[in-house]
């Protein structure tokens, strides 16, 4: 039985937890956020709720497909029966996309809560600022100078920029330091009446927006009319430090323009800046391992910038222990 700490309870960390707990390891997770899920986040404001980060899960890998099907049987995910539209300068048309998309029910974070269950302990709202390796053990310290451990092994599941300060001089830093992540401004809107449009989801071009989706068209959501609007990465990068009010207005306007509708009063809204949204050049390594220190690093940026990539990365990290 090994005592393993995982810093970061995103999909990769939760995937590692799943594999490690099946092998009888005792796993403790830490996350700086109030809950688990990382970029698989949901947001609630008043009666409105949205999936604020990852919008859906799709599978290419056979093992991940089996896992998704199992989650579906367990009632943790449902199929989102949607055919996205394409919106560009020429107008709105249905795409020929036949992808099967799954979503956590009744929100994306609900899946992360289920995946967290095997943890021996979970410390939310705990930002780890230092990981120190003694001769054979790891000791962790948070920003309030609280200490945790000892642990036999450590898995770091954070974006690369947040992993670097935690590596305690491991040689893994060299592989990580050049991995770049792009930002994504995300606007969440709620309306007191349905927006009349055939569109439930769309890939958008020729606009500040890359993706928009009617959140309440997903299975088991509240009935409140809610939309998720994600800016494209180039626009988000250009506007990364722009005043929030300017970003909000620009994206709201781009949303109405894209759908070709007007006259809808926004009842609730939320604007979020994902600073580390997607990796530009993932490592294609799966995960990284420093055997001398019993340290693994995982995350979507080690493989592919999707939930599937994160899950596979977490499985690989767990396989080292
Ligand atoms: C806007 C947006 C839309 C997306 N849409 C999709 C989609 O539709 N489909 C899809 O498959 N993928 C999508 N993705 C990508 C997907 O969300 C990610 O690939 C996946 O969630 C990454 O998981 P992860 O575990 O690698 O990292 P993360 O989810 O980022 O988890 C890392 C965790 O580490 C924590 N952390 C960081 N530093 C510390 C610290 N010092 N101490 C403690 N905790 C720390 C963070 O709080 C976070 O919870 C989207 C991403 C974004 C941002």
Q: Mean pLDDT, consecutive 10-residue segments, the chain of 321 residues?
A: 96 98 98 98 96 98 98 98 98 96 98 98 98 96 98 98 94 95 98 98 98 98 97 98 98 98 97 98 97 97 98 98 97
To test the pocket of ligand 1, the residue of 33, 43, 53 to mutate (highest count of ligand atoms within 8 Å of its CB) is 53
pLDDT at 30: 98
Taking 3-state DSSP, the helix, strand and coil percentages for the chain, each rounded to the nearest 5, stand at 25, 30, 40
Residue pointed to by tokens 């935690």: 166
- Rounded distance between C-alpha atoms, residue 255 and residue 232, angstroms: 13
247 lies in the same domain as 115: no
- Rounded distance between C-alpha atoms, residue 1 and residue 20, angstroms: 10
Residue pointed to by tokens 């995350």: 299
Does ligand 1 come within 6 angstroms of the Cβ of 11? yes
291 lies in the same domain as 210: no
Which residues, including other chains, have CB under 8 Å from residue 200's CB and lie 6 or more apart? 82, 84, 213, 214, 217
pLDDT at 169: 87
CATH number, position 73: 3.90.660.10
Does ligand 1 come within 6 angstroms of the Cβ of 30? yes
Which residues, including other chains, have CB under 8 Å from residue 181's CB and lie 6 or more apart? 159, 160, 161, 275, 276, 277, 278, 279, 280, 301
200 lies in the same domain as 256: yes
- Rounded distance between C-alpha atoms, residue 6 and residue 31, angstroms: 9
Q: Is 200 a member of any domain?
A: yes
218 lies in the same domain as 259: yes
- Sheet containing 26-30, strands listed edge to edge, beginning at the edge strand earlier in sequence: 121-123, 26-30, 3-7, 153-156, 295-297, 288-290
pLDDT at 57: 98
260 lies in the same domain as 129: no
Q: How many CB atoms lie within 10 A of CB 217?
A: 16
Q: Is 233 a member of any domain?
A: yes
The pairing of strands 3-7 and 26-30 is parallel
pLDDT at 187: 98
Q: Is 193 a member of any domain?
A: yes
pLDDT at 1: 81
Q: Is 24 a member of any domain?
A: yes
Does ligand 1 come within 6 angstroms of the Cβ of 186? yes
Q: Is 123 a member of any domain?
A: yes
Query: Exposure of 206 by Cβ count < 10 A (0-12 exposed, 13-18 middle, 19+ buried)?
Result: exposed
pLDDT at 168: 85
9 lies in the same domain as 84: no
* 140 CA to centre of ligand 1 in angstroms: 22
CATH number, position 117: 3.50.50.60
155 lies in the same domain as 186: no
- Sheet containing 201-204, strands listed edge to edge, beginning at the edge strand earlier in sequence: 91-94, 85-88, 201-204, 209-214, 225-231, 181-191, 266-279
Residue nearest to atom 13 of ligand 1 (CA): 54
Does ligand 1 come within 6 angstroms of the Cβ of 305? yes
Name the domain count of the chain.
Answer: 2
202 lies in the same domain as 267: yes
93 lies in the same domain as 242: yes
**For the whole model, what pTM was predicted?**
0.98
* 54 CA to centre of ligand 1 in angstroms: 8
The separation between CA 85 and the C-alpha centre of its own chain, rounded to angstroms, equals 23
To test the pocket of ligand 1, the residue of 17, 30, 54 to mutate (highest count of ligand atoms within 8 Å of its CB) is 54
257 lies in the same domain as 298: no
Q: Which two tokens stand for residue 140?
A: 């962790």
Q: Is 56 a member of any domain?
A: no
Residue nearest to atom 12 of ligand 1 (CA): 306
Peptide bond into 71 cis (omega under 30): no
Q: Is 19 a member of any domain?
A: yes
The closest of 165, 163, 162, 140 to 150, measured between CA atoms, is 140
Q: Is 125 a member of any domain?
A: yes
* DSSP letter assigned to residue 104: E
Could you identify the atom of ligand 1 that is nearest to the CA of residue 58? 11
271 lies in the same domain as 188: yes
Q: Which domain does 291 fall in, by range?
A: 3-41+110-178+283-319
- Sheet containing 138-142, strands listed edge to edge, beginning at the edge strand earlier in sequence: 128-133, 138-142, 147-151
212 lies in the same domain as 293: no
């Amino acid at each position: 039985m090994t005592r393993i700490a995982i810093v970061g309870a995103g999909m990769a960390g939760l995937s590692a937890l799943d594999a490690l707990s099946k092998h009888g390891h005792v796993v403790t997770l830490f996350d700086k956020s109030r809950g688990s899920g990382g970029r698989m986040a949901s947001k609630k404001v008043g009666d409105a709720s949205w999936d604020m980060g990852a919008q859906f899960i799709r599978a290419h890998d056979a093992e991940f497909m089996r896992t998704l099907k199992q989650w579906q049987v367990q009632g943790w995910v449902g199929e989102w029966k949607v055919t996205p539209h394409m919106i560009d300068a020429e107008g709105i048309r249905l795409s020929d996309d036949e992808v099967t998309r799954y979503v956590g029910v009744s929100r994306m974070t609900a899946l992360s809560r289920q995946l967290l269950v095997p943890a021996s302990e979970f410390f939310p709202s705990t930002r780890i600022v230092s990981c120190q390796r003694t001769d054979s053990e790891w000791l962790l310290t948070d920003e309030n100078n609280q200490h945790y451990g000892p642990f036999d092994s450590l898995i770091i599941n954070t974006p690369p920029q947040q992993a670097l300060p935690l590596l305690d001089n491991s040689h893994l830093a060299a592989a990580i330091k050049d991995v770049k992540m792009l930002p994504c401004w995300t606007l969440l809107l709620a309306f007191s009446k349905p927006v009349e449009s055939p569109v439930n989801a769309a890939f958008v071009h020729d606009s500040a927006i890359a993706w928009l989706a009617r959140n309440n068209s997903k299975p088991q959501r509240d009935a409140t009319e809610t939309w998720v609007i994600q800016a494209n990465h180039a626009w988000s990068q250009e506007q990364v430090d722009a005043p929030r009010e300017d970003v909000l207005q620009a994206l709201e306007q781009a949303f109405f323009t894209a759908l070709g509708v007007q006259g809808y009063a926004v009842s609730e809204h939320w604007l979020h800046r994902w600073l580390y949204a997607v990796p530009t050049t993932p490592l294609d390594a799966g995960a990284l391992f420093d055997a001398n220190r019993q340290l693994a690093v995982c995350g979507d940026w080690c493989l592919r910038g999707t939930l599937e990539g994160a899950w596979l990365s977490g499985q690989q990290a767990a396989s080292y222990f």
